[in-house]
Amino acid sequence: MVAATFGCASPDTEPEIVYVQGPPLPGVDQPAANASSTDPDVGSSAGSSTGVGPGVQPSTPLAPELPFVGEPVESPQPVGTASGEPNGPAPEPAQAMAMRGPTPAANGVNFPFPQNRHSEFCNYPTNYDNADVVAAFEKWKADVVTADGANGALRIRRLESDPVIQDDVHSTVSEGIAYGMLIAVYMGDQELFDGLWRYSQQWLNDTGLMHWLISSDGGGVLGSGAASDADEDIAWALVMADRQWGGNGSLDDTYLNLANTMIQRVWDHEIADGKLLLPGDSWGGWESVNVSYFMPNYYRVFAEVSGNQGWLDVVQTSYDTMNNSLNAENGNADNGLVPAWATSEGQPNGGVWGGGDAPTHYQYDSCRTPFRIGVDYCLRGEMQAYDYVQKTSAFFSGIGVANMTDGYDLNGTPRAQYSGLSAAFVGTAAVGAMSNPAYQQFLDDAYAEVRGLDLLVGGAYYDESWTVMSLLMMTGNFLDYTQLEPLLE
């Protein structure tokens, strides 16, 4: 075993990062609840940061840092770069099955798939297999990635099984482009990443952000205005691309410059009062909140990359707003089932779209919350995140994977939209359950279902996307590259 340790930290200081090459951790003890927020003021700063930007070469780790563990690779042959190019073909499933990361950097790729970097804060499915991720990625790519209607770029198309928007079955949403860029950067597919980014740039509004809905033939905008959940995912993916490949690939500017521009546009047009993430660039406010859009771990890195420490206030506002929505009146104080649309004070608000028909139960937006918040615990050890995912994990493990449905009233009463299991619900709940070894059986059961690639009742585009992203997270491949150093041979 080879270890590099950079010191220990007292409870009053930020821990130094530790990287270990060795077998994966079988589990970690439940952490002490010593850092949950009790500040009633919404938007108080979550803390300070060290001020470091990403680049091709590893930079100083971000705060708070954490240890990662990965199994040694049996062969130094990097997975996913067999052609010698950064965007080479994905490995055959048998090859991926035989290997565990971290895979050494090679051929211009700093973090080739698989990495399998385990956080000390989280647990992982007992018998996870990188071949499952490869299979999910290949199916997703074959089903939803297309050049048709992309005007020389690449786009993510919705499929017949997805809810039809504006009578265009194969339309593209900015959310899909964002999911695709996340998946591409973690799978090391640079050609796909660049192609999706180029598509997004064909459909910018006057704020420089992508319109949320584009016709399948590439002929025009079907839904105007930006969606902030997509925009923040795209910004994150660009930061990761800078660390993954560096430079600019086939694009006209560097990934880092594009990331900084994107971060600034989100700040200028989708952050209210320097604190609250709005649902878009042209509407929303303190009375129109979608908790499932919040991704606190992103905001910490945006602060580091941009030098704008105001992003740390967005972190705290996200937690304050989420916690406000969990209360006795809503019946969800203990189960973590956040409303789809609410006010910042936590009251469900079905009128945010103007007609009173916006959903306020736990549905296909809301179900993303255990993933988005769970990532902040796994990658940062944020105790506010831990407190939240204990609620969702207790609720869903109590139900059991086989008995889950794709919708709930806030009090936990099932409210199915379709019949069957959805990866967007099961996979995301599993990521939340990674936080505590008490939920290992639920995590293993959920992984076993998601790896089957058939939890698609919510629509193939959406559920396949969440299948891949959930598997990436559950196998230690959905990472914050700004905190990591590439493994060198």
Per residue in 410-457, pLDDT tens? Answer: 999 999 999 999 999 999 999 999 999 999 999 999 999 999 999 999
Residue 207 burial (CB < 10 Å; 0-12/13-18/19+)? middle
CB neighbourhood size of 328 (10 A):
8
Higher-confidence position of 337 and 97: 337
Structure letter (DSSP) for residue 341? S
Per-residue model confidence (pLDDT) at position 331? 98
Whether this model's pTM surpasses 0.75: yes
pLDDT at 447: 98
**Which of 229, 376, 382, 444 does the annotation list as catalytic?**
229
Q: How confident is the model at residue 15 (pLDDT cuts 50, 70, 90)?
A: very low
Determine contact, residues 211/221, Cβ cutoff 8 Å. yes
Q: Distance between CA 357 and CA 350 in Å, rounded?
A: 6
Position 450 scores a pLDDT of 98
| DSSP symbol at 210 | B
Q: Which of the residues 162, 175, 233, 365 is marked catalytic?
A: 175
Tens-digit pLDDT profile for residues 297-310: 999 999 999 999 99
Q: Residues of 140-156 as b/e, b for ≥16 C-beta within 10 angstroms? A: bbeebbbeebbeebbbb
State yes or no: pLDDT of 24 exceeds 90: no
- The CA radius of gyration of the chain, in Å to the nearest whole number, is 21
pLDDT per residue as tens digits for the range 171-210: 999 999 999 999 999 999 999 999 999 999 999 999 999 9
pLDDT of residue 480: 98
Residue 175 designated active-site: yes
Q: How confident is the model at residue 99 (pLDDT cuts 50, 70, 90)?
A: confident
Other beta carbons within 10 angstroms of residue 72's beta carbon come to: 13
User: Facing residues of 18 across strands?
Assistant: 5
Domain 2-483, classified CATH 1.50.10.10, yes or no: yes
pLDDT digits (tens, 9 = 90+) for 370-420: 999 999 999 999 999 999 999 999 999 999 999 999 999 999 999 999 999
Can you give the three-state secondary structure of 230-296, one letter per residue? HHHHHHHHHHHHHHHCCCCCCCCCCHHHHHHHHHHHHHHHHEECCCEECCECCCCECCEECHHHCCH
